[in-house]
Amino acid sequence: MKIKGRVHKYGSNVNTDVILPAQYLHISDAKELAKHCMEDLDRKFAKEVQPGDIIVGEANFGCGSSREHAPIAIKASGIACVIAKNFGRIFYRNALNIGLPILESEEVVEGLENGDQVEVDLASGMVVNVNKRKSYQAKPYPEFMMQLITAGGLIEYTKRRLAKKSPS
């Protein structure tokens, strides 16, 4: 799958509290959550984001709370992919589980600036900075994660496992 969009770049340790503040955690509707996405870090984000855009963070993106509302809000806001040097471990799992593509790469993060137009090929992990005419290679997913992704996420993966356990 190919993604084309604009980069919204942030710093290190972007935590799930600023991605989706706790005062909205009683909400479960994804579109409603998207209205508050990044609210405590960047008030302009929710207004300016366009479908296909990409969030780029430095280290430890999505650290903090286990709230799945955070990746849900990002995905529902139209963001097609998050790229960071590394991720908070719960966010990493949550993002894969709900089908928000994420890529890990120091090189890609260093090579992208706020506002850059980029193309991302999720299957290969190839990222092209259209403005700078440079391309970068993100880390491939570990084999097990690839199985999860190919199955269509954790829900589909678990559905299949349960079906195997109890054939009815």
Partner 1 sequence: MSMTIAEKILAAHAGKGGVTPGEIINVQVDVVMVHDLGADLAIDSFREIGAKRVFNPEKIVLVIDHLVPAKNAISAAATRKMRQFAREQGIEYYEVGRTGICHVFLPEQGLVLPGDVLVGSDSHTGTYGALGSFSVGMGSTDIAAAMATGDTWMKVPPSIKFVYHGKPGKWIGGKDLILYTLGQIGVDGALYSAMEFTGEAVQALPMDGRLTMCNMAVEAGAKAGIIGVDSKTLDYLKPRAKRPYKVFESDKDARYARVYEWDVSHLEPQVAFPFLPANTRPISQVGEVRIEQAVVGSCTNGRLDDLRVAAEVIRGRKVHPDVRFIINPGTQQVYLDALREGLLEIFIEAGAVISTPTCGPCSGAHMWLLAPGERCIATTNRNFVNRMGGDGSEVYLAGPAVAAASAIMGKIGSPEEVVR
Question: Which residues of the chain form contacts with partner 1 (CB under 8 A)?
Answer: 12-13, 15, 17-18, 21-23, 25-28, 40-41, 59-60, 63-69, 71-72, 86, 88-90, 93-94, 97-98, 142, 144, 153-155, 158-159, 161-162
Cβ at position 162, least distance to partner 1 in Å: 6
Nearer to partner 1, 133 or 144 (CB): 144
**Cβ distance to partner 1 smaller for residue 91 or 120:** 91
Task: Give the shortest CB-7-to-partner 1 separation in angstroms.
Answer: 22
Q: Using alpha carbons only, how large is the chain's radius of gyration in Å?
A: 16
Q: What is the smallest separation between the CB atom of 106 and partner 1, expressed in angstroms?
A: 13
